Amino acid sequence: MSVRVYNDGVLIPHKSFIFSGGEVQVRLTDPPSRVYQAIVRADIRNSNDIMEAFLVTDALYSAYPGIYVKLVCPYFPYARQDRVCYPGEAFSAQVMCNLVNAIGYTEVEVWDAHSDVILVNIDHRVVNKTAWQIMEGWPDAFLNMMLNNETVVVAPDKGAIDRTKHAAWLLNTNMVQAEKVRDPNTGQITGTIVHSDHIGNSNFLMVDDICDGGRTFIELAKKLRPLTNGKVMLYVTHGIFSAGFDVFRGLIDHIYVANCFRSDTPAFVSVMPDTQ
């Protein structure tokens, strides 16, 4: 279930259905007699999930006037459309923020927000759980493995430098930076440069917020492979994996993901245990 509602850690059951005209509807099926605070956990995968989250929130407001409702939305929809790139485009991130504001949540939590546009345009209290804060919540075996193997953290591009610095601080290790090479005429990515010498038996850990099809990390892994006798690994907060997992085989030894869009994960993919 993509949308869940909790009252003090206890699930409040609801059902959702779609009318023949395409509209989403929800109903609390066994509502408690009293609820003062609720968490709407929304693992958004499509537009129907967005509507379900909003409608179940409205159902809570109707059933419990004055209720405190916190939205936990790990992957904030449309965050990657955080500006108008071409004339005639929609400012999708702003539209999504406006919708969240209209619902009137008391608090909103997102994970490793792709853009600061989200954080500054949500009216109510917004909490951004950063990549290194998420890593801190992983089992000790994960952190110990990273520390014991002298893992070197890699920023895939300039946009990932800040989150990678924090991850390097958490793991008490070094960081190296990669850069994408673009054709100045077309803007297309033509290659990758890694600013690193050979690191011996240490591991590389690429760190970023989103993996969609994975091309960025595949091309980067090709450059990292000759620079280590150890492993090449990847941490992403949000794993969409739209091209599947076979594209990573032979290049990336292990993938760690906090919010995974797929359930068919192979053995070399570890998903963070859900804490809610």
At residue 141 the predicted structure's pLDDT band, cuts being 50, 70 and 90, is confident
**Positive or negative, the Cα torsion across 126, 131, 132, 137?**
positive
Strand partners, 145: none
Predicted TM-score (pTM) of the model is 0.90
Q: Do residues 226 and 123 both lie within one domain?
A: no
Q: Do residues 76 and 160 both lie within one domain?
A: no
Q: Do residues 23 and 152 both lie within one domain?
A: no
pLDDT tens for 159-182 read: 888 888 988 888 888 899 998 777
Whether 276 maps to a domain, the answer reads no
Q: Do residues 155 and 96 both lie within one domain?
A: no
Given a contact cutoff of 8 angstroms between Cβ atoms, the answer to whether 265 and 232 are in contact is: no
Residues 6+ apart with CB under 8 A from 274: none
Tell me, what CATH number does 7's domain have? Answer: 3.40.50.2020
Q: Do residues 37 and 60 both lie within one domain?
A: yes
pLDDT at 53 over 60: yes
pLDDT tens for 60-90 read: 999 999 999 999 999 999 999 888 888 999 9
The 3-state secondary structure of 131-151 reads HHHHHHCCCHHHHHHHHHCCC
Whether 28 maps to a domain, the answer reads yes
Q: How far apart are CA 19 and CA 7, in angstroms?
A: 28
Task: Give pLDDT, residue 240.
Answer: 97
Q: Do residues 160 and 265 both lie within one domain?
A: yes
Q: Do residues 180 and 113 both lie within one domain?
A: no
pLDDT tens for 97-118 read: 999 999 999 999 999 998 889 8
Q: Do residues 99 and 203 both lie within one domain?
A: no
Question: How is residue 267 written in tokens?
Answer: 């053995």
Given a contact cutoff of 8 angstroms between Cβ atoms, the answer to whether 253 and 232 are in contact is: yes
Question: How is residue 156 written in tokens?
Answer: 């895939």
Q: Which residue has the higher pLDDT, 276 or 149?
A: 149
Q: Do residues 104 and 146 both lie within one domain?
A: no
Listed residues 97, 130, 163: the one ending a domain: 130
Q: How many domains does the chain have?
A: 2
Size of the chain, expressed as the number of residues it contains:
276
Q: Do residues 216 and 232 both lie within one domain?
A: yes
194-221 b/e (C-beta count within 10 Å ≥ 16 → b): bebeebeebbbbbbbbbbeebebbbbbb
Listed residues 100, 130, 160: the one ending a domain: 130
Q: Do residues 168 and 193 both lie within one domain?
A: yes
Task: Give pLDDT, residue 276.
Answer: 45
Domain span at residue 175 reads 133-271
Listed residues 130, 145, 177: the one ending a domain: 130
Q: Do residues 138 and 251 both lie within one domain?
A: yes
